[in-house]
Amino acid sequence: MEIMEKYRCSVCGWVYDEEMGHPEGGIEPGTRFNDLPDDWFCPFCSAEKKKFKKKPTEIIPVDTGHFPT
């Protein structure tokens, strides 16, 4: 079983999730970031593909304290 990665735009913070793809942009769910066309760009800020950085998978969401225990 393959692990789907997420890639984050270093310019605006928009995240490309390989599992979700980007159907609005014609990218099928499950499309690998590396398989995106070279002229693909961030749908949010139009940054180039190379501006995206792989998101570390082991990041644990920070508890923001929105839900007091």
Positions touching Zn ion (CB under 5 A) are 9, 11-12, 14, 42, 44-45, 47
Q: Rounded to the nearest whole angstrom, what is the least distance from the CB of residue 24 to Zn ion in the complex?
A: 14
51 close to 43: Cβ distance less than 8 angstroms: no
Q: Rounded to the nearest whole angstrom, what is the least distance from the CB of residue 56 to Zn ion in the complex?
A: 18
- The enclosing H or E element of 24 equals none
Closer to Zn ion at the Cβ: 19 or 44? 44
Dihedral (C-alpha) 31, 35, 39, 43: value to the nearest 10 degrees? 20
Q: Rounded to the nearest whole angstrom, what is the least distance from the CB of residue 44 to Zn ion in the complex?
A: 5
Closer to Zn ion at the Cβ: 31 or 66? 31
Q: Are strands 6-9 and 15-17 parallel, antiparallel or unpaired?
A: antiparallel
